[in-house]
Amino acid sequence: MNEYTLNVRKKTFKRESVLGFIFISPWIAGFLIFTLFPVLYSLYLSFTMTGEGGNLKWIGFDNYLRAFGERDFWLSVKNTLILSGIGIPIAQIMALMAAILLNIRMKYQGLFRTIFFLPSVVPAVATGLLWKWILNPRLGPINGFLEELGIAGPGWLMDPAWVKPSLILMSFWGIGGTMVIYLAGLQNIPDELYEAAELDGANSWHRLKSITLPMLRPVTLFNTIMGIITSFQSFTQVIIMLDMDGGIEKSGLVYGLYIYTNAFRDFKMGYASALSWVLLIITAISIAITMKFFKDRDN
């Protein structure tokens, strides 16, 4: 490589970098103006506690150390990891399957897709109350149906052992949103690829494995990462279906709920802030692990 080429490369790099920054500058500006302060302030809060008269007392890592000694902290971490660890993979697979199914040209395709999407549009309060009734061990239709079959239905939300399965079951109803994103992803896969594969004699399963899934990788990654981020923080459904303590034996006490009650019910903003930063770290680690998993599968 001669000096001339090197200079040209440096120049293009410089130009590209500048342009890149210009294009992302709206976000950077927004970050600096609107996001940086709340983020740093919550970090600062995590090292304080509010005393008499509203004075903030610096207490160092006390909030963090305290969390590690709290029974409810570990319980909420465990509950959240279990719910997410089981719920997310299943939801992703279901959403993908639904997207593939509803991508097939058929009559009323639009209608079917809309019906699948409907639950995501219904407000959380209505959904929660609805499912509370559906899963009602005595009056709900599910146990009613099981009874017809001669099976004694479980206690669902009233039985600590069944609370998590109930929550996971309920989350499946909301896969319509994820499905729509997969649908969008499927649109970008050129038909020619499939036609070529068919000509080569590939069957449906093979086409799925070697064309659809790899081409959907960026979308799958998006859905999984967003799934992790949102499910780690969610808690409103739990409040509606159970209560503010996470139900019987706190079986539904999720991390998001733990933060919420500490912040607003117990007025412990400093502690809640520390919990939030711990969540950030846990989320980042989980995502890093997930991305590694994706990369390995890539190879």
Partner 1 sequence: MIKTNKRRKVTVYIVAIFLSLLFIFPFLWMVSTSFKTQDQIFDAPMELLPNPFVTDAYNELFTETDFSRYFLNTVFVTGMTLLGVLTSSSIVAFGFSYFKFPAKDLIFKVLLATMMLPAQVTMIPQYMLFDKLGWVGSFKPLIIPTFFGGTWVIFLLRQFFDTVPREYAEAAKIDGANELMIFFKVYLPLAKAPVATSALFVFLWTWTDFLNPLIYLHDDHMYTLSIALHRIASGTHYPNWPVLMGGSLLMALPIIILFFTSQKTFINGATISGIKG
Partner 2 sequence: MFKKSIALILMILLCTMAFSKKEIVFWNAWGGDEGKVLEEMIEEYNSLQDEVVVRSVFAPIGMGEKIMATLSGSTVPDVITVWDWMVVPLGFRGQVLPLNEMLEKSGIDEDYYINGVWDYGFYEGKKYGLPTTLNVSAFMWNKGAFEEVGLDPDTPPKNIEELDEYTEKLMKYRKNGKLKRLGFDPVISHIYCYVFGGKLWDPETGEITANDTGNIKAYEWLASYYEKYDVKAKRIFQAGWGDVFSPLNPFLRGEVAMKEGSQWEILVAQKFAKPNFDYGISYFPAPEGGREDVCNVSGSFWVIPSASKNQKVAFEFMKWLTAPRQSAHFAAALYNIPPVKDALNDPEFTKIVDEKMQVYIDLLTDGYVYTFPMLPIGQTYLSEMTQALADVQSGNKSAKEALDYVQQRITEELSKY
Cβ burial of 60 (10 Å; 0-12, 13-18, 19+) is exposed
Q: Pick the piece of the chain touching partner 2 (CB under 8 A) from 24-32, 99-107, 152-160, 187-195.
A: 152-160
- Residue 271 contact among partner 1, partner 2, none, beta carbon within 5 to 8 Å by kind: none
How many Å from the N-terminal Cα to the C-terminal Cα in the chain? Answer: 32
If one counts every other C-beta atom within 10 angstroms of the C-beta of residue 299, the result is 4
**How far apart (Å, rounded) are the C-alpha atoms in residues 12 and 269?**
49
Q: To the nearest whole angstrom, how small is the minimum distance from the Cβ of residue 151 to partner 2?
A: 14
Residue 40's Cα: distance from chain center in Å?
24
Helix axes 269-298, 36-45, angle to 10 degrees: 120
Are 7 and 234 spatial neighbours (Cβ–Cβ below 8 Å)?
no
Among positions 147-206, residues that touch partner 1 (CB under 8 A) are 173, 176-177, 180-181, 183-189, 191, 194-195, 198, 204
- Indicate which single residue of 81, 101, 134, 158 sits in contact with partner 2 (rule: CB under 8 A): 158
**How far apart (Å, rounded) are the C-alpha atoms in residues 234 and 142?**
25
**How far apart (Å, rounded) are the C-alpha atoms in residues 249 and 243?**
11
- Assess 222 for contact with partner 2 (CB under 8 A): no
Mark residues 130-149: x for contact with partner 2 by CB under 8 A, - for none. ------xxxx----------
Could you tell me the CA-to-CA distances from 215 to 186, 204, 205 in Å, in that order?
8, 15, 15
Among positions 25-54, residues that touch partner 1 (CB under 8 A) are 26-31, 33-35, 37-39, 41-42, 45
- Indicate which single residue of 43, 119, 207, 245 sits in contact with partner 2 (rule: CB under 8 A): 245
The pair of three-digit structure tokens given for residue 137, joined into one six-digit string: 């061990």
How many residues in the shown chain lie near partner 1 by CB under 8 A? Answer: 101
- Assess 240 for contact with partner 1 (CB under 8 A): no
- Assess 267 for contact with partner 2 (CB under 8 A): yes
Q: Pick the piece of the chain touching partner 2 (CB under 8 A) from 20-28, 223-231, 264-272, 279-287.
A: 264-272
- Assess 157 for contact with partner 2 (CB under 8 A): yes
**How far apart (Å, rounded) are the C-alpha atoms in residues 221 and 226?**
8
How many residues in the shown chain lie near partner 2 by CB under 8 A? Answer: 25
Say which residue the tokens 């004699």 belong to. Answer: 201
- Assess 276 for contact with partner 2 (CB under 8 A): no
What secondary structure does DSSP assign to 117-186, as a single string?
Answer: HHHHHS-HHHHHHHHHHHT-TTTSHHHHHHHHTT-----GGGSHHHHHHHHHHHHHTTTHHHHHHHHHHH
**C-beta closer to partner 1: residue 236 or 248:** 236
**C-beta closer to partner 2: residue 38 or 201:** 38
Q: Pick the piece of the chain touching partner 2 (CB under 8 A) from 50-58, 82-90, 104-112, 178-186.
A: 50-58
Q: To the nearest whole angstrom, how small is the minimum distance from the Cβ of residue 148 to partner 2?
A: 16
Binding site residues, partner 2, CB under 8 A: 49-54, 136-139, 155-159, 245, 248-249, 260-261, 264-268
